């Protein structure tokens, strides 16, 4: 068994040296970022088209392509067309590192968008920070990232859990059980859920963390039956965890407990599950395909025109990705330049856009967006019924701890 | 904490269904890997195909149970094709088989993504739930236990009580001798590969109503299936039953008493300890003792 190992070792060394070489070559010319040519502007995207995360990645990629097409058909930015360079990270964090290097050093893009899990964001962040390439992370997450170079359009706990937990406490009961994915997103979000539960006067009677590769929820189902909560807060992520809702319903627990979630729907859970298993799951997101606004009606018909009438569902994350591209395009227009510092200054000027989810405003200090948040419940047609919409919900926690105009050198993730 | 009778009954059922789950996802691999020595890295995708065929059958109006049986047979047929095109050229070349089946797994996942998309409508768990005191249990979990017993029994009968079973074992153990006494080794191996694949398909079909049927689902199960087969050793039925019983039992018990994370950890610890002291697995140890 020694020989194959030695070979793998050599291969790694070769790859590493190649990477170092690329990095060394790129470093000399990293600043010119294609800024004064008249040709198309290179922009980059890294998402998962294959592997288990493609459930979320596919709609994100479709949204990226549609946003670029939309911006280009409206004349591009600064009178130039956008040229999208996209890579498939194959649900592998190492690939995020590799492609982030490629986009910044070789393709010299003006902006990088992408990353789905928090782990993938943390793989991209140091690389784009080092090469001073603007980065947008457009998925829902546990909140708190504070970095001059990074902008976030996805909802954070102070926009999802903050309205959802009081809603659940008021309508379903005060005994709460938390079931969360066992990595940083799940743990930090669970802390937030506990905090909001306390504020709402609810009691958390139990918390379970489930590894991402697990799809056997027998033990959790038994714990739930012993604890008898009124509300189950689900912070579960991905295809394996979708089995939870199925096993929950097959045991008949959906008759005595209500599930509320900040993730249900972004991973197409309501598509994969049968209506009788998902009906009644209550969620909070900035966007639902069912939103009845003129902007959204136009958006959904554009989407269906490009991807077909039978597209299962346009999820929230597709629109936060769309918002990321349009905010960036608006900022570049406002700055009149592709220069990173000028674009950041434009993004920090209280910039807002009208999006399918309503008005979206970038907060100058925290680099997170203020946006509408709706509470909805899964219906019996693989979709959602929107119950209430709160307008202009700020990322309250991020705004309270992170002020990048005052402290531009802050570079950390705040946690409760 | 005193244990109530209803809690105990519920715990026992949950234990049995964990064991059954492990048995049905591993049995097909036990035939291909434990018996034939083919490291089938596409085993997870065979399970996935079983689940997707069941889904397709139900969507076309078939009864769920009929769809499950047909799905198993269809995966068996695919197994035969795979054996003819790929595996038959690679018997005895383990690294080559691993690479080929790994490549096959990537292709199968992507083909299913292209046909069905990354997420498509699944089928709900059939039947209802039964109450045991304060607890309720899904009736389907009892079906799963029954199906595991049935599949293990069927495999035992086919491999030990039929003419084909004897030839299959001979063709794997002593191919030259088997050929010398008139066994068509090529054909027998093809059938055995198909039989193992059909068992994997049946496992996937049984998973379809309790898990999310997505193209990547195979990855979740393939690791545990290999662990069960390695711990079980070369005996197909005895190995699978004993390893699934031990690993599934420990996992479920620890998960229920503590947390799911510790349950998974306990499963791994038990597997490592067993392989340290019984390197040929549980059934390998029994054979040596006899």
Half-sphere exposure (CA, 13 Å, Cβ side) for A33?
A: 19
At A359-398, the pLDDT tens digits run: 999 999 999 999 999 999 999 989 999 999 999 999 999 9
**Residue A312 belongs to what domain range?**
35-155+292-372+398-407
List CB contacts (< 8 A) between B135 and chain A. Answer: 222, 225
- Domain boundary residue among A261, A285, A309? A285
Name the residue with tokens 């398909």: B201
Of B117, B118, B260, the CB nearest to A220: B260
Q: Does B56 touch chain A (CB under 8 A)?
A: no
Yes or no, beta carbons of B216 and A54 under 8 Å apart: yes
The tokens for A40 are: 């198309």
Residue A7 domain-assigned?
A: no
Q: Are residues A311 and A214 in the same domain?
A: no
Asked if residue A23 belongs to a domain, the reply is no
Instruction: Give the pairing of strands A82-88 and A41-47.
Output: parallel
- Burial (CB < 10 A; 0-12, 13-18, 19+), residue B74, is buried
H/E run at residue A374:
strand A369-378
Same structural domain, A151 and A300: yes
Could you report the per-residue pLDDT of A321-363, keeping only the tens digit for each? Answer: 999 999 999 999 999 999 999 999 999 999 999 999 999 999 9
A190 and A71 share one domain: no
Q: What is the CA radius of gyration of chain B?
A: 19
The residues near A344 (Cβ < 8 Å, ≥ 6 apart) are: A134, A148, A149
| A165 lies in the same domain as A266 | yes
Distance CA B5, CA B153 (A): 31
The answer on A97 and A70 residing in a single domain is: yes
Domain's final residue, options A285, A303, A319? A285
E strands within A49-160?
82-88, 111-114, 134-137, 145-147, 150-152
With b meaning 16 or more CB within 10 Å and e meaning fewer, what string describes B235-270?
bbbbbbbbbbbbbbbbbbbbbbeebbbebbebbeeb
Verify that A148 and A163 share a domain, yes or no. Answer: no
Strands A150-152 and A134-137: parallel
**B280 inside 8 A of chain A by CB:** no
A214 and A144, same domain (yes or no): no
CB contact under 8 A, B212 and A182: no
Tell me the CATH number at A245.
Answer: 3.40.50.2300
Kindly state the tokens that stand for A351.
Answer: 């910039």
Number of domains within chain A: 2
Query: Is A206 domain-assigned?
Result: yes
Q: Strand A111-114 to strand A134-137: parallel, antiparallel, or no bridges (unpaired)?
A: parallel
Do residues A258 and A183 both lie within one domain?
yes
Distance, in Å, from the CA atom of A164 to the CA atom of A255, rounded to the nearest integer, reads 20
pLDDT of residue B290: 63
Tens of pLDDT, residues A214-246: 888 888 888 888 889 999 999 998 778 888 998
How many angstroms separate the CA atoms of B127 and B130, rounded? 10
The pLDDT tens digits for A26-40 are 333 334 444 456 789
The answer as to whether A26 is a domain residue is no
Q: Which residue has the higher pLDDT, A71 or A3?
A: A71
Asked whether residue A150 falls in the same domain as residue A92, the answer is yes
Q: Delimit the domains of chain B by residue range.
A: 10-124+132-218
On whether residue A140 sits in a domain, the answer given is: yes
Q: For residue A188, tell me if it sits in a domain.
A: yes
Q: What is the DSSP string of A251-273?
A: TTGGGT-EEEESSTTTTSHHHHS
A36, burial (CB in 10 Å: exposed 0-12, middle 13-18, buried 19+): exposed
ipTM for the complex shown:
0.78
Domain boundary among A230, A254, A285: A285
Out of A222, A267, A312, name the one closest to residue B256 (CB).
Answer: A222
- How many residues are given for chain A? 416
- Residue A154 DSSP one-character state: S
**Residue A36, pLDDT score:** 52
Q: What is the largest CA-CA distance in chain B?
A: 65
pLDDT digits (tens, 9 = 90+) for A103-158: 999 999 999 999 998 889 999 999 999 999 999 999 999 999 999 999 999 999 99
Q: Are residues A147 and A296 in the same domain?
A: yes
Test B117 with A252 for CB contact under 8 angstroms. Answer: no
Structure tokens at B129: 């739930």
Q: What tokens does B65 get?
A: 């149970």
């Amino acid at each position: 068994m020694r020989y194959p190992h030695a070979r793998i070792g050599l291969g790694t060394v070769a790859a590493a040296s190649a990477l170092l070489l690329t990095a060394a070559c790129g470093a000399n010319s990293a600043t010119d970022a294609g800024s004064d040519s008249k040709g198309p502007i290179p922009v980059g995207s890294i998402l998962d088209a294959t592997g288990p995360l493609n459930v979320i990645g596919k709609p994100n990629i479709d949204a990226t392509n549609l946003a670029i097409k939309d911006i280009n058909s409206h004349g591009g930015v600064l009178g130039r067309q956008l040229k999208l360079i996209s890579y498939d990270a194959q649900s592998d964090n190492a690939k995020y590192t590799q492609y982030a290097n490629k986009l910044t050093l070789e393709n010299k893009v003006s902006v990088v968008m992408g990353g789905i899990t928090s782990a993938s964001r943390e793989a991209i962040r140091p690389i784009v920070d080092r090469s001073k390439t603007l980065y947008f992370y457009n998925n829902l997450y546990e909140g708190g990232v504070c970095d001059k170079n990074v902008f976030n359009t996805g909802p954070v706990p102070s926009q999802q859990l903050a309205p959802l937990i009081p809603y659940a406490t008021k309508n379903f009961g005060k005994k709460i059980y938390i079931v969360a994915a066992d990595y940083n997103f799940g743990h930090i979000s669970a802390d937030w859920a506990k905090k909001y539960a306390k504020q709402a006067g609810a009691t958390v009677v139990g918390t379970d963390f489930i590894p991402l590769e697990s799809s056997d929820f027998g033990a959790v189902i038994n714990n739930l039956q012993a604890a008898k909560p009124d509300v189950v807060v689900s912070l579960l992520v991905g295809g394996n965890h979708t089995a939870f809702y199925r096993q929950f319903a097959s045991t008949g627990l959906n008759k005595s407990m209500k599930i509320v979630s900040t993730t249900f729907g972004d991973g197409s859970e309501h598509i994969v599950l049968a209506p009788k298993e998902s009906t009644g799951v209550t969620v909070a997101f900035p966007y639902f395909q069912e939103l009845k606004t003129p902007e959204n009606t136009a958006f959904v018909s554009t989407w269906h025109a490009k991807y077909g009438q039978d597209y299962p569902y346009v999820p929230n994350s597709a629109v936060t990705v769309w918002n990321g591209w349009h905010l960036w395009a608006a900022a570049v227009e406002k700055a009149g330049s592709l220069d990173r510092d000028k674009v950041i200054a434009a993004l920090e000027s209280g910039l807002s856009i009208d999006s399918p989810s309503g008005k979206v405003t970038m907060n100058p200090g925290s680099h997170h967006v203020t946006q509408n948040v709706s509470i909805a419940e899964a219906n019996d047609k693989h979709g959602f019924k929107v119950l209430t919409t709160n307008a202009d919900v700020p990322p309250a926690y991020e705004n309270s701890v992170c002020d990048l105009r005052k402290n531009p050198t802050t570079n950390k993730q705040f946690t409760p | 904490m005193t244990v109530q009778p209803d809690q105990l009954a519920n715990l026992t059922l949950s234990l049995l269904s964990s064991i059954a789950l492990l048995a049905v996802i591993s049995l097909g691999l036990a035939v291909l890997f434990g018996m034939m020595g083919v490291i089938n890295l596409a085993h997870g995708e065979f399970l996935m195909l079983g689940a997707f065929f069941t889904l397709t059958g139900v969507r076309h109006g078939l009864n769920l149970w009929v769809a499950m049986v047909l799905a198993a047979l269809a995966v068996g047929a695919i197994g035969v094709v795979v054996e003819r095109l790929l595996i038959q050229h690679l018997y005895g070349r383990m690294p080559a088989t691993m690479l080929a089946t790994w490549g096959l797994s990537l292709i199968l996942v992507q083909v299913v993504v292209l046909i069905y998309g990354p997420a498509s409508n699944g089928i709900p768990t059939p039947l209802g739930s039964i109450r045991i005191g304060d607890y309720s249990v899904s009736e389907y979990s009892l079906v799963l236990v029954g199906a595991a017993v049935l599949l293990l029994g069927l495999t035992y009968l086919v491999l030990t009580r039929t003419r084909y079973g004897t030839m299959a074992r001979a063709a794997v153990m002593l191919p030259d001798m088997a050929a010398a006494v008139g066994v068509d080794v090529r054909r027998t191996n093809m059938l055995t590969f198909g039989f193992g694949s059909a068992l994997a398909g049946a496992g996937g079909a049984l998973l379809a109503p309790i898990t999310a049927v997505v193209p990547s689902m195979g990855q979740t199960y393939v690791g545990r299936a290999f662990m069960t087969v390695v711990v079980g050793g070369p005996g197909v039925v005895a190995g699978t039953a004993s390893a699934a019983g031990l690993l599934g039992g420990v996992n479920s018990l620890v998960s229920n008493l503590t947390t799911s994370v510790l349950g998974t950890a306990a499963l791994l610890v038990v597997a490592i300890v067993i392989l340290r002291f019984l390197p040929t697995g549980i059934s390998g140890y029994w054979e040596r003792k006899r």
